[in-house]
Chain A
Amino acid sequence: MSLIHKSAAELGSLIGSGEVSAVEVAQAHLDRITEVDGKLHAFLHVGAESAIEQAQAIDDRIAAGDDLGPLAGVPIAHKDVFTTIDMPTTAGSKILQGWRPPYDATVTRRLRAAGLVILGKTNLDEFAMGSSTENSAYGVTRNPWDLSRVPGGSSGGSSAAVAGYAAPLSTGTDTGGSIRQPASVTGIVGMKPTYGGSSRYGLIAFASSLDTPGPFARNVLDAALLHEAFSGHDPMDSTSIDAPVPGVVEAARQGDVAGLRIGVVKEFAGEGYQPGVLARFQESVELLESLGAKIVEVSCPSFTTALPAYYLIAPSECSSNLARFDAMRYGLRVGDDGTRSAEEVMALTRAAGFGPEVKRRIMLGTYALSSGYYDAYYGQAQKVRTLIARDFEAAFHQVDVLVSPTTPTTAFPIGERADDPIAMYLADLCTIPANLAGNAAISVPCGLADEDGLPVGLQIMAPVLGDDRCYRVGAAVERALEERWGGGLLSKAPTL
């Protein structure tokens, strides 16, 4: 098996034992990027030289006898929404074209500390606003399963990179489903940790109270290893939880659901759900039962109001978070010809630098926070948020985890929903509740839909700081399904 098809855990142990060098592994992936990224456009920036340098440094340390972690020397693709001191950081926006941050995000710093080799920065919907990467100012990313379809979003570059074997691991951020939905539609594993479990410092903010960094991988254990590598308390992020990282790696290795109570969310089925998605989901539930789990149907009535609440809270926060892009200190500057006021330059820059979806959300949020509307919109949405958290709480009195399809449909064709924001927003219908309540949730592949032969994801939701349960159940499903399929789901993907 070629290096690019190995798991991160395997690569880590091969590099650690000196059987292969980190440089060889990095080079194999850089070659793969050269080979396929013309088709996928998963990367906005490839740092070939710096990747080889980082890999060489790891090789040197291993040669010197340093005891490095399980992922030392393993390549990773990094979502271009985390600041990186040695690579441009754009958040997929024209307004940050060419910006070189003077500091590393905490996640970036921890990737480096774990010895991960950063190959480059991946494409995303502008400022992580979208479900398809079609909102990127730098062009759409394509789904390795079908190049005419989207790879999900906003972390679509990261999902495509991992599904397309351009990297064994990648980072994402999940605000309303931006890790789980792309993982689901590209047939890989994507985890949204508990809010506050991973640091937001250096993550270019979309919606502060929702944004959560998380891992992508081709299998559950790799995702857990990456999760463990960059998570944990960060004093630079006040909302970061000061508690030990849940035992995610151990849970991923355990992968046992016997005696576990698993709740099926009643509200996430029916109209709008693709039959093939529901069929695979139903099979997964039966599979879990056959593995010894107790299946319970659970009602979470407020989940049906999560989507509208989300589309008030997230835009409200973004309207404020994105105010700093004003041409004064960094990034794009338009119209500064000596005749215009600072205010005019700000307005021209923002008009030219932000794409239509970002503008739509800034306007939505500005309106929702306006005096006289605040209570009706933002205030009301916060109440819904409380109700959702209560539904979760009540559910977790009955069950250990909740399951649902990750997304109502498989990957949709590029352009299909580009002019229909509401249809686009529906892609996150099942993922948003976990963001609003801050819970942990993972998406693992559970098969291909009969209609289109495209991947379907199973979402497993756990309580706050119950991240290990996601991995435990995810690993059990993965093991049983791979046994049934005779390999990973991605082995069924067409060759690029």
Chain B
Amino acid sequence: MSTETLMPYDEALERFEPVLGLETHVELGTASKMFCGCPTGFGAAANTQVCPVCLALPGSLPVANEMAIESTIRIGLALNCSIASWCRFARKNYFYPDMPKNYQISQYDEPLCVDGYLDIEIEGKTVRIGIERVHLEEDTGKSTHVGGATGRIQGADYSIVDYNRAGIPLVEIVTRPVEGTDRLAPEIAKAYATELREVMRSLGVSDVRMEEGSMRCDVNVSLMPRGTTEWGTRTETKNVNSLRSIERSVRHEIERQAAILADGGRIIQETRHFHEDTGTTTAGRSKEEAQDYRYFPEPDLVPIAPDPAWVAKLKAELPELPGARRSRLQREWGVSDLDMAAMHNADAVDLVEATVAAGAPPADARKWWMGELARRANESGTALAALPITPDQIARVCAMVAGGALNDKLARQVLEGVLEGEGSPDEVVSARGLQIVNDQGELSAIIEQVLADNSDAADKVRGGKIAAVGALVGGVMKASRGKADAGRARELILQKLGVSE
């Protein structure tokens, strides 16, 4: 590991101002590849989803996937871009074994979508991230470097290539440089990627699984000294594959670059790799000498000229986008900006919405997901949505509480039972015997016993110190192992002692 020094984040931000840029690759979830009919499923045996086209056998030719073009236009529209009325694919030429043609079919100076934006919310404020372009290209194969310490090509004994991924449609979304983030740069980078992921999900164009590589971010960071306006040299941390890593990599690059600059050093324009285990980045390929990709218009494909009427139709048919949906839900649920932001950050909005849809009051749905369940997810290190409990089950528990069959304490035990695989809420209630005791006879018997055991307290109440009833209610709750309805018990105790409030 490198021994490079870091400047503490607060100090780095006092002295420097960061500028961000994000390039995000999203694999489209089309049934077939970008330029051939091969399937795109993840996880198939190596080199089984290939054909003459995606293996670049001599003589083979690409044919563009119309669904991929449509998806890209929809992404562009969702990101408020202008859609080109005429554009072309271009070849990006470079040699690498996992790229079968040794050129990538991409887009160069004629992207399909340009000049858009995406609004994100951070600390209750809206930040507008400019989108420079959205273009369509094809993915490469996947190299695995065997032997050697780093898993990278340098030092490996040999490499193997799986071309299943070669030719999967890939959309590249490039932001404009993001200035003025100040100390929120890491959070803004993460929030952008989160929001973008949600946009993709709502469009249904990709499964955007960062851990499987179907969404990957290249994070550009540069620093400029406070009080100056000229951007510094940037580094590009490649293929960061989780939202948390995006945040951490930005923070790390700020700390690393600040230390170098403060020491009078110079930032090298290069790609860097982020390491999950250490939270640091290490140098990759230098970009000091710009690689010459010899772009030229792809002669094997005809230009894309989307009919404006079709584009207008796609625009009209866009689903409700995540930002608009959150605003609507916030209104409908009557929650504060901060509560809404908290739900968003915890990935709870969908869950709460589904729970509400299953009949729970919004406040109750939020209370359980953001309280007990968030705590348990946090404890077990899983995502909220990955907990083994469904919105329907939460809604059922809420209904039982509302109907008086459970109190909050019992409800927590029901949830625990469900999470531990004991079955549905109703099954857990009956298996654990968690119904509230409101049977008149049983409750009366418990109260008689408690009054007998606590005659001092009973006397105090009789003597008018009504506050002392709390201890008696507590005794009833204890004796019933929490299953008694506390309110009902209180009423009965007062009645039995002949006291009225």
Contacts and interface: CB of A to CB of B under 8 A. Distances in A.
Interface of A: 82-83, 89, 91, 96, 99, 101-103, 105, 200-205, 207-209, 235-239, 316-317, 319-320, 323-326, 328-330, 342-343, 346, 366, 369-371, 374, 378
Contact of B294 (A208, A346, A371): A371
A207 B299 CA distance: 9
Q: Which of B57, B91, B93 has the most CB of A within 10 A?
A: B57
A102 B57 contact: yes
Interface string B91-109: 1010101001111000000
Contacts of A237: 61, 63
Interface in B47-100: 52, 55-64, 91, 93, 95, 97, 100
Given A323-B102, A371-B292, 18 more contacts: A83-B58, A91-B58, A204-B59, A209-B299, A236-B61, A236-B63, A238-B64, A238-B300, A239-B302, A325-B58, A326-B95, A326-B97, A328-B161, A329-B56, A330-B58, A369-B295, A370-B292, A378-B296
Contact of A83 (B59, B101, B161): B59
A374 B296 contact: yes
Which residue among B161, B290, B292, B295 has the maximum number of chain A CB atoms within 10 Å of its CB? Answer: B292
B93 to A, nearest CB: 5
A326 B59 contact: no
A103 B100 contact: no
Contacts, number: 102
A366 B55 CA distance: 23
Given A324-B102, A369-B93, A374-B296, A329 B59 contact: no
B159 interface: yes
A343 B55 contact: no
A201 B61 contact: yes
A203 B59 contact: yes
Report the 10 A-B pairs with minimum CB-CB distance, sorted nearest first: A323-B102, A208-B299, A369-B294, A209-B299, A202-B59, A204-B58, A324-B56, A83-B59, A371-B292, A204-B59
Contacts of A236: 61, 63
Contacts of B61: 200-201, 236-238
A349 B62 CA distance: 26
A324 B59 contact: no
B482 to A, nearest CB: 68
Contact of B55 (A202, A235, A329, A371): A329
Contacts of A202: 59-60
Contact of B58 (A101, A207, A208, A328): A101
A91 B300 CA distance: 19
B302 to A, nearest CB: 5
B301 interface: yes
Nearest to A209: B299
Given A323-B103, A342-B97, A208 B300 contact: yes
A421 to B, nearest CB: 22
22 contacts: A89-B59, A102-B52, A200-B61, A201-B61, A202-B59, A203-B59, A204-B59, A205-B59, A208-B299, A209-B299, A238-B300, A238-B301, A238-B302, A239-B301, A317-B299, A323-B101, A324-B101, A326-B102, A343-B95, A346-B95, A370-B292, A378-B296
A324 B55 CA distance: 9
Contacts of B290: 371
B89 to A, nearest CB: 10
Contacts of A101: 52, 57-59
A238 to B, nearest CB: 5
B291 to A, nearest CB: 9
Nearest to B302: A238
Nearest to A365: B294
A320 B93 contact: yes
B58 A324 contact: yes
B294 A342 contact: no
Interface residues of B, number: 30
Nearest to A83: B59
A281 B295 CA distance: 43
B300 A239 contact: yes
A356 to B, nearest CB: 20
A328 B299 contact: no
A320 B58 contact: no
Contacts of B91: 320
Nearest to A322: B102
A329 B300 contact: no
A90 to B, nearest CB: 10
Contacts of A96: 58
A201 B60 contact: yes
Contacts of B63: 235-238
B101 to A, nearest CB: 5
B59 A320 contact: no
Interface in B272-314: 290, 292, 294-296, 299-302
Contacts of A207: 299
Nearest to B300: A208
A238 B299 CA distance: 10
B162 to A, nearest CB: 12
Nearest to A323: B102
A320 B52 contact: no
Contact of A342 (B60, B103, B159, B296): B159
Contacts of B296: 316-317, 320, 369, 374, 378
A99 B58 contact: yes
Contact of A103 (B52, B56, B161): B52
Contacts of B93: 319-320, 323, 369
B97 A320 contact: no
Nearest to A200: B61
A82 B59 contact: yes
Contacts of A325: 58
Interface in B9-42: none
A146 B302 CA distance: 44
Contacts of B159: 342
A196 to B, nearest CB: 9
Contacts of B60: 103, 201-202
Contacts of A343: 95
Contacts of B292: 370-371
A83 B52 CA distance: 11
A407 B107 CA distance: 39
Nearest to B290: A371
Contacts of B299: 207-209, 239, 317
Nearest to B156: A341
A208 B97 CA distance: 23
Contacts of B101: 323-324
A207 B62 CA distance: 15
A433 B290 CA distance: 36
Contacts of B56: 324, 329
A91 B299 CA distance: 20
A230 B295 CA distance: 33
A491 to B, nearest CB: 37
A369 B59 CA distance: 22
A36 B296 CA distance: 45
A102 B60 CA distance: 11
Contacts of A103: 52, 57, 60
A203 B61 CA distance: 9
Contacts of A374: 294, 296
Nearest to B98: A328
A320 B62 contact: no
A319 B91 CA distance: 11
**Quick one: which of A96, A103, A378 has the most chain B CB within 10 A?**
A103
A494 B300 CA distance: 43
A206 B61 CA distance: 13
Contacts of B52: 101-103
A99 to B, nearest CB: 7
Contact of A89 (B58, B64, B95, B295): B58
B77 to A, nearest CB: 25
Nearest to A91: B58
A102 B52 CA distance: 8
A383 to B, nearest CB: 14
A346 B94 CA distance: 12
A27 B426 CA distance: 85
